[in-house]
Amino acid sequence: MTRQQAFSLGLRAVAPMLLGVAPFGVIYGVVALQSGIPPLAAMAMSSIVFAGSAQFLLAQLVGAGAPLLLSAGAVGLVNLRHALYSASVAPLLAKLPRRWKVLLAYLLTDEAYAAAIPHLLDPTLATTGEVRGHWILLGSGIGLWTGWQLSTLAGVLIGTQLPSDLGLDFALPLTFIAIVVPMIRSRALLASALVAGAVAVALAAMPYKAGLFVAALAGLALGPVLARRPA
């Protein structure tokens, strides 16, 4: 696989998610302006913070006049699950120069990670000698980044005129399903998914999406243990 092929593979893998991300970006732009954030700052936040749910939260907190420490802490909590993605891709990026690691870490969102990870873990990719995994991740990362910037811009510019309840955001969970279900190849992985899903639902009321992080940890820890028990 050449660099271009790997890059375009990542781009294509993230493309269906843009359908779901775009309405979020537009709504974020609108919410940010309504919270009293100037258009330029609202746009800049999409590249400085570059994290959908954290930006929504930050816009609301700024609008409510929340104290700085609380706002920063909340954003950290919302993004904590990205540490898991970091751990997951770290061994695969180990040999890259630092500028690559920095760039890919900046681009490491839920969507970019989800789009690239099945390909990164694909054993046939590793056997082709020269590993192009980082180009796949770059493709999905840049694809999502571009979509997020453009949709934020649209939200800031056209504001509330867009119909928001078309249901396009459903493309996001659907693409995650398309990615995750084929990855469940063992009883242990199935158990892990069931535990993570159940805990996420049970803890959905926890503030700042902390439940998502706890649910992912529970799936990581309990899935393999449960599956080892005789049925």
Partner 1 sequence: MNLWGLMLICGAMTFAIRYSFIAAEGHFRPPRWFRRLLPFVPVAALTALTVPELLLVQGTIDVGGGNPRFWAGLVAIVAAALWRNTLLTIGCGFLAFFLLQRA
Residues numbered 200 to 219 that lie near partner 1 (CB under 8 A) are: 200-201, 204-205, 212, 215-219
Figure out which of the listed residues 85, 135, 145, 148 binds partner 1, where binding follows CB under 8 A.
85
- What minimum distance in Å lies between the beta carbon of 149 and partner 1? 14
Both structure tokens of 202: 């049970």
Q: Does 18 bind partner 1 (CB under 8 A)?
A: no
Figure out which of the listed residues 5, 34, 83, 128 binds partner 1, where binding follows CB under 8 A.
83
Q: Does 58 bind partner 1 (CB under 8 A)?
A: yes
- Classify burial at 201, counting beta carbons within 10 Å of its beta carbon; exposed 0-12, middle 13-18, buried 19 or more: exposed
Both structure tokens of 207: 């503030």
Query: In whole angstroms, how far apart are CA 24 and each of 101, 118, 123, 125, 204?
Result: 27, 25, 34, 33, 20
Figure out which of the listed residues 18, 37, 125, 138 binds partner 1, where binding follows CB under 8 A.
37
Size of the site for partner 1 (CB under 8 A): 84
Figure out which of the listed residues 41, 64, 126, 157 binds partner 1, where binding follows CB under 8 A.
41
> How many of the other CB atoms lie within 10 Å of CB of 99?
8
- Token pair 């180990």: residue: 94
Q: Does 108 bind partner 1 (CB under 8 A)?
A: yes
Q: Does 64 bind partner 1 (CB under 8 A)?
A: no
Q: Does 126 bind partner 1 (CB under 8 A)?
A: no
Q: Does 117 bind partner 1 (CB under 8 A)?
A: yes
Q: Does 156 bind partner 1 (CB under 8 A)?
A: no
> Which among 101, 144, 116 is positioned nearest to 6, based on CA atoms?
116
Figure out which of the listed residues 84, 153, 154, 206 binds partner 1, where binding follows CB under 8 A.
84
Figure out which of the listed residues 75, 125, 131, 136 binds partner 1, where binding follows CB under 8 A.
75
> Which among 173, 178, 106, 171 is positioned nearest to 142, based on CA atoms?
106
> Which among 165, 225, 230 is positioned nearest to 195, based on CA atoms?
225
